[in-house]
A and B are shown apart, each in its own frame.
Chain A
Amino acid sequence: MSVDQVALAEELAGSSAGAGHVASADVAEYALRLGDDALVLAQQLGMWISYAPELEEDIALGNIGLDLLGHARTLLHYAGTATGRSEDDLAYFRDEPEFRNAWLFEQPNGDFAHTIARQLFASTYLYELYGALSSSTDPTLAAIAVKSDKEVDYHRDHAIQWTLRLAGGTEESRRRMILAVVDTWPYVEELFADDALVERLAAEGVAPLPSSLRPAFDAVIARVFAEAELEIPTGRTAFTASGGGREGRHTEHLGPMLAEMQVLARAHPGASW
């Protein structure tokens, strides 16, 4: 078989399920939230490539980043149908206050332990989210969720494996992992906050209420932490960040990240690449 004879699967999941389907304003706003979460996380994982602790891990993080970038593209593509914008219009030509990702996703890579803590919370949340979204009454969202859920299942497994190894490895790795959990935990709360938009969508069976995903998330984290002998932060180090990403208020990390991501595209408006 020559390289030109390989059968290619659909590049953007769900694009045929919802062929020609235009997202409503509410659904578009919701898809933007999910798409921005995935995009911002993919952007950060891309920074690890050629910098990972071992070559095998360069490849693992690359695979996870590529999965997330795929989710971002399908979700932004779908969100854009409401306003006639492309995935790239949305990724490259919106300013920081127009981004709808939760704060967890924009927290910096830090050391490998911080990346793993962020991955653990993000992928555990995403796994529950896409699982529930697979039965959405919106066929495009459902199709995207079915594919994405299988992929984030692997991301979650990867994060769990590394959480166990870092927490149960050397003294240094354990110290770093504990610190990473303390630093990242404050951003978990926002993931499960309900608001008017998701309440409307939940009523139509389009999307699950974020708060409904929390018990399953807590159960998984409790099991992982029990095996890793980690604890959910309490006392003086147990902060809860206010959040605000869904309304376009962000931490200090997102601006510089977007400036870097968008610099070339914005230098050549209207150009095609």
Chain B
Amino acid sequence: MTAPAELSVAALDEHRDEAAQARFDDLIAQDSRIEPRDWMPDAYRKTLIRQISQHAHSEIIGMQPESNWITRAPSLKRKAILMAKVQDEAGHGLYLYSAAQTLGISREEMMQQLIEGKARYSSIFNYTTPTWADMGAIGWLVDGAAICNQVPLCRASYGPYGRAMVRICKEESFHQRQGFEILLELMQGTEAQREMAQDAVNRWYWPSLMMFGPPDDESPNSAQSMAWNIKRFSNDELRQRFVGMLVPQAEALGVTLPDPNLRWNEEKQAYDMSEIDWHEFHEVLAGRGPANAERLRRRREAHEEGAWVREAAAAYAAKQAARKVAA
């Protein structure tokens, strides 16, 4: 057993072994993988803990806007799909917390950081889900953007992170499709249903583009993450790729993407689009989104109300173990 203190001392002690740094650099240069017991620079470890735990928190907080509709899903089939999807998200959070845990931080510690408001998660989940069509828009746009971000992460240089992402990407393949299907059903339905779908797309389109993060020239950590093979493509590259996929899909759905300036630029071989409202992004990030307080309150409540159950199971396990020793 290795105490966290011991791990971080080892990580800080960069003089201990220059050969270790050379081996790390070598593995990165070969596009090989770093595994938990390998020596790694302290900054690499910290960057990963921050990124993986934020990612895990996003999965867990991300359950809320959708679990909001489980009880009201308009058909039993949709109810089953939504339950399975939200349940998957708990699983994805678990895979990611486990990956972060191999870097020397406990899940309990990460959970504390989250409920005390000290950790970040994807700001998209601070938006609310007033209508059923939001279940479609989240699947199509938010999960779609997430998949764009996540597929390259399957090759992240840190082994446990990459492996968690492989599992997550495989499971997420149904998330985006079910969202698309919800919207398609709505667009083929009544006038009220079509309006509901378009309204949801209007509300989720821009926030989903913000999920790729600030523009490349304002993204402070990107360069280092790319050098370490954690990140493989820049924010703007991924955003372009995503929009490129959305345009024909929106056409198939019959919805309008809410950007009058969106058009293909043959010369640049890329889409021109309106300026993203980064002010809104920073406002939501700073805690002034529609549901920041609600999301944290609910997570805190679940965690605190579950404490007696977790303690009970631990106490029972201890008693059983003692009984076994005595027998």
Determine whether A and B are in direct contact in the complex, meaning some CB atoms lie less than 8 angstroms apart.
yes
A contacts, CB < 8 Å to B: 3, 39, 43, 46-47, 49-59, 62-63, 65-66, 69-70, 72-73, 76, 87-88, 91-92, 111-112, 164-166, 168-170, 172-173, 176, 260-261, 263-265, 268, 270-273
B302 in contact with A50 (CB, 8 Å): yes
Which of the candidate stretches B7-15, B65-73, B150-158 sits at the interface with the other chain?
A: B65-73
Query: From residue B167, how far is it (CB to closest CB) to chain A in Å?
Result: 13
Q: Which of B306-327 contact A (CB under 8 A)?
A: 306-316, 319
Chain B residue at minimal CB-CB distance from A45: B83
Contact of A268 among B74, B78, B307, B311 (CB under 8 A): B74
Give the Cβ gap from A55 to chain B, nearest Cβ, in Å: 5
B91 at the interface (CB under 8 A from A): yes
**A/B interface sample: 15 pairs, CB < 8 A:** A50-B63, A51-B67, A51-B305, A52-B302, A53-B309, A55-B97, A57-B309, A62-B90, A70-B80, A169-B313, A173-B312, A263-B72, A264-B72, A271-B193, A273-B189
Flag if A168 contacts B316 (CB, 8 Å).
yes
Asked if B75 lies at the interface with its beta carbon under 8 angstroms from chain A, I say yes
Which residues of B sit under 8 angstroms from A43, Cβ to Cβ? 71
User: Can you name 16 extra interface pairs (CB under 8 A) apart from A165-B316, A172-B311, A261-B72?
Assistant: A47-B71, A49-B67, A51-B305, A52-B306, A53-B305, A55-B93, A57-B309, A63-B87, A66-B83, A88-B75, A169-B313, A173-B308, A173-B315, A176-B308, A265-B74, A273-B185
Asked whether A55 and B76 contact (CB < 8 A) given A173-B312, A264-B132, A272-B185, the answer is no
Min C-beta distance of A185 to chain B, whole Å: 21
The 8 A-B residue pairs whose C-beta atoms are closest, nearest first, are A169-B312, A53-B306, A173-B312, A62-B87, A53-B309, A50-B63, A58-B90, A50-B67
B306, closest chain A residue (CB): A53
Q: Are A49 and B70 in contact (CB under 8 A)?
A: yes
Q: How far is the CA of A91 from the CA of B192 in the complex (A)?
A: 22
Verify B64–A50 contact, CB threshold 8 A: yes
* Residue ID in chain A nearest B80 by CB atoms: A69
Q: Is B86 among interface residues, defined by CB-CB distance under 8 A?
A: yes
Cβ–Cβ < 8 Å partners of B192 in chain A: 268, 271
Please give, as numbers and ranges, the residues of chain B lying within 8 Å of A88 by CB-CB distance. Answer: 75-76
Give the one of A50, A166, A268, A271 with max B CB within 10 A.
Answer: A50
The answer to whether the Cβ of B279 comes within 8 Å of any Cβ in the partner chain is: no
Let me know if A66 and B72 touch, CB within 8 A. Answer: no
8 Å CB interface, B296-310 against A = 298, 301-302, 305-310
Shortest Cβ gap from A59 to chain B (Å): 5
Closest CB in chain A relative to B185 CB, distance in Å: 6
B124 at the interface (CB under 8 A from A): no
Judge if B55 is at the interface, Cβ distance under 8 Å.
no
* Interchain CB contact under 8 A, B313 and A165: yes
Taking the complex as formed, is B60 at the interface, i.e. its CB lies under 8 A from any CB of chain A? yes
Residues from chain B with a CB closer than 8 A to the CB of A87 are 76
Partner of A69, one of B60, B79, B301, B308: B79
B84 interfacial by beta-carbon distance below 8 Å: yes
Query: What are the residues of chain A within 8 A of B60 when measuring CB–CB?
Result: 50, 55
**Residue interface mask B183-209, A partner, CB < 8 A = 1:** 001101110110000000000000000
Nearest A residue to B301, CB-CB: A51
B37 at the interface (CB under 8 A from A): no
Chain B's nearest CB lies how many Å from the CB of A169? 3
Q: Chain B interface (Cβ within 8 Å of chain A)? A: 60, 63-64, 67, 70-80, 83-84, 86-87, 90-91, 93-94, 97, 132, 170, 173-174, 182, 185-186, 188-190, 192-193, 298, 301-302, 305-316, 319
Kindly provide the distance from the CB of B159 to the nearest chain A CB, expressed in whole angstroms: 22
Closest to A166 in B: B312
Minimum CB–CB distance for B39 against chain A, Å: 31
Q: Least Cβ distance of B151 to chain A in Å?
A: 13
CB contact under 8 A between A55 and B305, given known A49-B70, A50-B63, A165-B316: no
Contacts of A51 in B (CB 8 A): 67, 298, 301-302, 305
Q: Is the CB of B74 within 8 A of A273?
A: yes
Q: Nearest Cβ in chain A — how far from B152, in angstroms?
A: 18
Identity of the chain B residue whose Cβ is nearest the Cβ of A72 in the assembled complex: B76
Given contacts A3-B173, A49-B63, A271-B189, contact A54 B74 (CB under 8 A): no
Which residue among B80, B90, B312 has the maximum number of chain A CB atoms within 10 Å of its CB?
B312
Report the separation of the CA atoms of residues A169 and B306 in the bound assembly, to the nearest whole angstrom.
Answer: 14
Inter-chain contact B90/A73, CB cutoff 8 Å: no
Closest to A262 in B: B72
User: Using Cβ atoms and an 8 Å threshold, which residues of chain B touch A272?
Assistant: 185, 188-189
Cβ–Cβ contact A50 & B90, under 8 A: yes
By beta carbon, the residue of chain B nearest A76 is B76
B311 touches A58 (CB 8 A): no
- The smallest C-beta distance from B319 to any residue of chain A, in angstroms, reads 7
CA distance in complex: A62, B94 (Å): 15
A49-B83, A50-B63 known; A170 vs B312 contact (CB < 8 Å): yes
A58 touching B312 in the complex, CB below 8 Å, given contacts A3-B170, A264-B72, A268-B74: no
